[in-house]
């Protein structure tokens, strides 16, 4: 059951929701704008950090490259590497590092292919796995390579710098110097390029979108309310402006909590400001709704008075719109009253015409049946008897006897057809003797259905005396329904049911045929003239009709007891039926 609300309640709710919605839109817009400004500031800050870190990494790589170029230009050191063994190489390199004091590389290797020498050095904290001079030399590309590249040895990414070694003054290449830094799992490198005072959450070295080294920092955040989710700043990537190009970038995640703090502050505004706004909205909406409800109640009272008294006039108010509505209501009510009166007259005329048509139709049916019986029926009976006598008197002539037999068969068919029509037309007279329950099984269309292999099921359980008007119309409805089954159903089964119920009588005609054609809507008043006639008859006797088309067609008619049954002391005369002049002859 739908709950109904008063106008002032609806007005109060609508006004309250409208104001609250406007306030919410304003606060959401303010939040989005403020968030956009703060986000831009955070993005600028992180972008500047990323640029600075990438620049520091480039400076660090330049220092590593400077170390290798300094070694290459030191003729005595290169000669010492070329002429000695690995122990001499490590000793000479260690002495040079003590003098230079600005070494940045993680590992270094020199290779002299002509003398089959290859020496490798790695820092103590570098932690390289399965890396030796030969694998490093081969992975970097051998002799005549110069510059930086990223190589992979045993799952470790290394940034290596290669430069040829030559004899000073001659330009003859005698070997290759290879060195660089470890890129995988090198937190030392990340610590060298960042400032711990920067407000960041993490920094990663990425090679082709794969993280090589990562450094995380604990972030302290103020506890947020339960309904305020902390904001996660999106990561920022550098432009790839190092010697490795776009292959190597840095990813930085900011630990800035400005947007989260903004959310918390707006949450407080929503709580405290919202309570104040709700109180104000309640007061304003209540005042407006009461004012509008008062005017509406006046309109409703005026409509009731105008409906009862068409001479009622609208009392002018200070609101122009309500004055216009009042005048329109007067015109509408008066038009409705006129239309109602006209509709009542039309309906009454329609009922009288329909009643007269039904009575006239039944009288005409009875007159036609009597005429057929008294004239054509008697003539056919006489013709049939004469043909029979002629056949009996001339049985010795075979050819003529066969012709007479054929003629007699034709006469019999005509006789049966005529008396079937008489039976259909004289149903009202039959119901005087057999009642509706006895007349329905004798409807002439039933044998025709059986001849078409229909299984005709007749279920009659009706014993209370019916009004003659109800009997006649239900009989005609059954005739029309069975005729429709014969014409259109194309089925195998049909049900004709008449039953007494607690509060009335019910007639049902149902089949298992093809139903209605696509597009027809019998439940909404459609269908052919047969269904229109059925509806008119049902309406005439005060009944209700339901037509459904599910696996065939079912016409269900219910007539309430006060319209269906003969009341105590009530006359059951509907029509004056003239008596037949002659009785039906035997066939």
Taking the C-alpha atoms of residue 542 and residue 531, their distance in angstroms, rounded to an integer, is: 16
439 in the same domain as 381? no
Domain count, the chain: 3
CB contact at 8 A, 508 and 556: yes
d(CA 540, CA 354): 7
C-alpha to C-alpha distance for 158 and 143, rounded to whole angstroms: 18
Q: Are 117 and 160 in the same domain?
A: yes
Whether residue 451 is found in the same domain as residue 557: yes
Write out the residue range of the structural domain in which residue 113 sits.
60-188
Quick check: helix, strand or coil at residue 77? helix
DSSP label of 50: H
> Do residues 534 and 555 touch, judged by C-beta distance below 8 A?
yes
| Domain C-terminal end among 386, 401, 425 | 425
Q: Give the mean pLDDT of 556-569.
A: 89
444 & 543 share domain: yes
Q: Which two tokens stand for residue 583?
A: 């009785």
What's the predicted TM-score (pTM) here? 0.45
Q: Are residues 416 and 459 in the same domain?
A: no
Chain position carrying tokens 């930085």:
252
CA–CA separation, 36 vs 29, rounded Å?
10
Q: How far apart are CA 405 and CA 587, in angstroms?
A: 16
Establish if 200 belongs to a structural domain. Answer: no
499 has pLDDT over 90: yes
Beta bridge partners of 493: 455
Computed on alpha carbons and rounded to an integer, the radius of gyration of the chain in Å comes to 55
Residue at a domain's end among 386, 403, 425: 425
CB 142 within 8 A of CB 118: no
Question: Which domain CATH number covers 78?
Answer: 3.30.450.220
Question: Are 410 and 511 in the same domain?
Answer: no
Over the stretch 418-477, which tens digit does the pLDDT of each residue have?
Answer: 656 665 555 555 666 778 888 888 888 888 899 899 999 999 999 999 988 888 889 889
Does 19 map to a domain?
no
Residue 330 is predicted with a pLDDT of 73
540 and 497 part of one domain: yes
> Going by DSSP bridges, is the β-strand pair 493-501/455-461 parallel, antiparallel, or unpaired?
parallel
**Mean per-residue pLDDT of the chain:** 78
Residue 243 inside a domain? The answer is no
Q: Which of 2-6, 273-277, 315-319, 429-433 has the highest mean pLDDT?
A: 273-277
Mean pLDDT of all residues in 148-164: 91
Residues 419 and 566 in one domain: no
Residue 95 — pLDDT band, cuts 50, 70, 90?
confident
Verify that 464 and 572 share a domain, yes or no.
yes
Q: Are 361 and 476 members of one domain?
A: no
Of 160, 188, 216, the domain-final residue = 188
Task: Tell me the three-class secondary structure of 129-154, residue by residue.
Answer: CCCCHHHHHHHHCCCCCCEEEEEEEC
Q: Let me know if residue 16 belongs to a domain.
A: no
Query: Helix, strand or coil for residue 568?
Result: coil
Looking at the structure, do residues 447 and 585 belong to the same domain, yes or no? yes
Nearest to 247 by CA among 149, 162, 117: 149
Residue 208 lies in a domain: no
Query: Are 559 and 543 contacting, i.e. CB atoms less than 8 angstroms apart?
Result: yes
One domain for residues 65 and 161: yes
Name the residue among 59, 46, 47, 50 with its Cα closest to residue 243.
Answer: 59
């Amino acid at each position: 059951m739908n709950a109904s609300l008063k106008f002032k309640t609806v007005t109060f709710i609508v006004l309250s929701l409208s104001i609250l919605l406007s306030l919410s839109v304003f606060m959401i817009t303010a939040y989005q704008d403020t968030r956009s400004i703060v986000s831009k500031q955070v993005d600028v800050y992180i972008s500047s950090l990323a640029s600075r870190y990438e620049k520091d990494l480039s400076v660090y790589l330049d220092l590593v490259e400077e170390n290798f170029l300094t070694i290459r230009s030191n003729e005595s050191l290169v000669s010492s590497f070329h002429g000695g063994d690995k122990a001499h190489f490590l000793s000479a390199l260690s002495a040079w590092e003590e003098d230079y004091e600005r070494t940045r590389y993680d590992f270094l290797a020199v290779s002299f292919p002509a003398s089959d020498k290859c020496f490798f050095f790695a820092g103590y904290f570098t932690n390289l796995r399965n890396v030796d001079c030969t694998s490093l030399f081969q992975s970097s590309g051998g002799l005549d390579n110069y510059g930086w590249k990223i190589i992979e040895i045993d799952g470790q990414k290394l940034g290596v710098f290669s430069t040829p070694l030559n004899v000073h003054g001659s330009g003859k290449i005698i070997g290759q110097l290879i060195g660089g830094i470890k890129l995988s799992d090198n937190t030392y490198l990340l610590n060298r390029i960042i400032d711990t005072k920067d407000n960041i959450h993490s920094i990663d070295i990425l090679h082709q979108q794969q993280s090589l080294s990562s450094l995380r920092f604990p972030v302290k955040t103020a506890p947020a309310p339960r309904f305020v989710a902390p904001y996660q700043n999106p990561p920022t990537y550098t432009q790839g402006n190092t010697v490795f190009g776009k292959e190597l970038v840095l990813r930085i995640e900011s630990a800035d909590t400005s947007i989260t703090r903004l959310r918390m502050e707006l949450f407080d505004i929503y709580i405290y400001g919202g309570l104040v706004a709700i109180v104000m909205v309640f007061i304003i909406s209540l005042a407006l709704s009461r004012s509008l409800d008062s005017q509406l109640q006046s309109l409703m009272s005026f409509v009731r008075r105008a409906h009862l008294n068409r001479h009622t006039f609208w009392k002018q108010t200070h609101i122009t719109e309500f004055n216009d509505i009042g005048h329109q209501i007067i015109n509408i009510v008066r038009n409705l009253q006129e239309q109602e009166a006209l509709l009542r007259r039309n309906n009454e005329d329609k009922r009288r015409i329909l009643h007269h048509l039904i009575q006239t139709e039944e009288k005409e049916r009875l007159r036609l049946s009597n005429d057929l019986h008294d004239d054509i029926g008697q003539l056919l009976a006489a013709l049939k008897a004469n043909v029979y006598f002629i056949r009996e008197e001339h049985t010795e002539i075979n050819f003529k006897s066969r012709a007479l037999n054929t003629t007699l068969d034709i006469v019999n068919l005509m006789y049966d057809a005529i008396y079937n029509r008489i039976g259909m037309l004289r149903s009202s007279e039959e119901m005087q003797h057999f009642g509706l329950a006895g007349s329905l099984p004798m409807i002439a269309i039933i044998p025709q259905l059986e001849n078409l292999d229909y299984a005709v099921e007749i279920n009659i359980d009706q014993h209370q005396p019916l009004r003659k008007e109800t009997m006649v119309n239900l009989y005609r409805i059954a005739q029309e329904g069975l005729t429709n089954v014969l014409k259109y159903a194309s089925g195998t089964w049909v049900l004709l049911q008449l039953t007494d119920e607690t509060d009335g009588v019910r007639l049902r005609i149902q089949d298992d045929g093809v139903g209605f054609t696509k597009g027809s809507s019998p439940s909404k008043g459609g269908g052919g003239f047969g269904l229109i006639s059925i509806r008119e008859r049902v309406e005439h006797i005060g009944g209700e009709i339901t037509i459904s088309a599910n696996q065939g067609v079912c016409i269900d008619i219910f007539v309430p007891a006060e319209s269906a049954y003969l009341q105590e002391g009530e006359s059951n005369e509907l029509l004056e039926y003239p008596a037949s002049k002659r009785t039906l002859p035997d066939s």
